Amino acid sequence: MIRNGIDCIAQYAHLFKGKRLGLITSPTGLSHDFVSTIQILHENFNLVALFSPEHGVRGDQDAGALVDTYLDPVTGVPVHSLYRKDSKRLTQQMLDAVDLVVYDIQDVGVRYYTFIYTMLYAVEDCAKAGKEFVVLDRINPLDGVTVEGNIMKQGYQSFVGNYPLSVRYGLTAGEVAMMANDQMQWSCELNVVRCDGWDRRLQFPEIGRIWVQPSMGIPRFESALLYSGTCIFEGTNISEGRGTTFPFEIIGAPFIQPEQLADEMNGMKLPGVLFRPVFFKPTFSKHQGELCGGVQLHVTDARAIHAVETGVTLMYTIRQRYEEFSFLPPLKENARPFIDLLCGDKLYRENSVDVSALLEQFREESRGFAQIKQVYHLY
């Protein structure tokens, strides 16, 4: 059996005994038999605080919801939000109440996914406060080998990219924490409770565990895999499938002709994927209640697909074919457009783009990152 960090915690009990623990977690913080990490730490150690990322520690908060401190209804432990309007960091008051901060959230291995920055902010905050930090590690569902996409550039930091990772980075959360702690010279007292039995070449369908969706937008393994490429549509006026049962797998807009787009994409013979023409009507998010035409991406070979390149190619195909295509404006005055934050660069918005050259640049950057990251492999 392949075990995540929480399943191996008994071997690391010395890290937790006699200490006041604060836990950053979400509904994916579960043992192999679906006992929550909250319950395990509450029953076996001194859990004194819960720290809530977006969506809440038990998944009861809407996307983007801002909440005040409250008591967890199951354990009575205070819950403090790390998704506040003014900050997404641990405060000194929060840290004064604990000796050690524990992190247990399932990552998807993609730079845009915000939980990884909740973790890195907390590592940095603990370093400054002289507090210990422990990652209960979890396997990377996309595998721990494949690296794809460009590297985020300085000046493009945000909550969808706050550290120079490639888009698909092939590391576990524990490995990312080690890498950042070393490269940023935070000097946090950091420990990783390792997974057991995981071969980093394995993808999630090969490990024999049940998929628990990391968030509402990632309901399936295929969603997570395609998300590494199709998330960039969040920075455009094209629906990324939110408001459908296949977010990040269905892409479209009211002005798109499905058959034409599917034929053009399939004609490129991109590896590991087929495009099916679809009509859909989102129940929320972009184009809510409007009939949209587009394509559904079907993964035919999860090993062969280059998901980042697929998403970029699809975006530029739509951009070139439909004059109605546009990038969304910045969310705030004098801020960068969201597409720049997703890209970690301004490349996507340039007027004249050689897509082949752009993708080759991405390949070169990802090859460099693949070499750097090997130093931090735990598996």
Q: How far apart are CA 179 and CA 171, in angstroms?
A: 10
The CB density around residue 238, as the number of other CB atoms within 10 Å, is: 29
Q: Provide the pLDDT for residue 64.
A: 62
Kindly give the interhelix angle for 307-321 and 355-373, rounded to the nearest 10 degrees.
160
Q: How confident is the model at residue 331 (pLDDT cuts 50, 70, 90)?
A: confident
- Residue pLDDT, tens place only, 98-120: 999 999 999 999 999 999 999 99
Q: Where in the chain is the domain with CATH 3.40.50.12170?
A: 5-214+372-376
Q: Provide the pLDDT for residue 332.
A: 87
Q: How confident is the model at residue 68 (pLDDT cuts 50, 70, 90)?
A: confident
Q: Is the pLDDT of residue 203 over 90?
A: yes
Name the CATH architecture for the domain at 5-214+372-376.
Answer: 3-Layer(aba) Sandwich (3.40)
Q: Rg of the chain's alpha carbons, rounded to an integer?
A: 21
Q: Provide the pLDDT for residue 55.
A: 80
Q: Provide the pLDDT for residue 342.
A: 97
Q: What are phi and psi of 310, to 5 degrees?
A: -65, -45
Q: How far apart are CA 367 and CA 369, in angstroms?
A: 5
CATH class of residue range 221-345:
alpha beta
Residue 374 buriedness (CB in 10 A; 0-12 / 13-18 / 19+): exposed
Mean pLDDT of all residues belonging to the chain: 96
* 379 contacts: CB under 8 Å, gap ≥ 6: 144, 172, 194, 195, 198, 199, 200
Distance from the Cα of residue 81 to its chain's centroid: 19
- Residue pLDDT, tens place only, 312-330: 999 999 999 999 999 999 9
* 224 contacts: CB under 8 Å, gap ≥ 6: 108, 109, 110, 141, 142, 204, 214, 218
Residue linked to tokens 């094209």: 238
Q: Where in the chain is the domain with CATH 3.90.1150.140?
A: 221-345
The model's pTM: 0.96
Q: How far apart are CA 143 and CA 303, in angstroms?
A: 10
- Residue pLDDT, tens place only, 30-41: 999 999 999 999
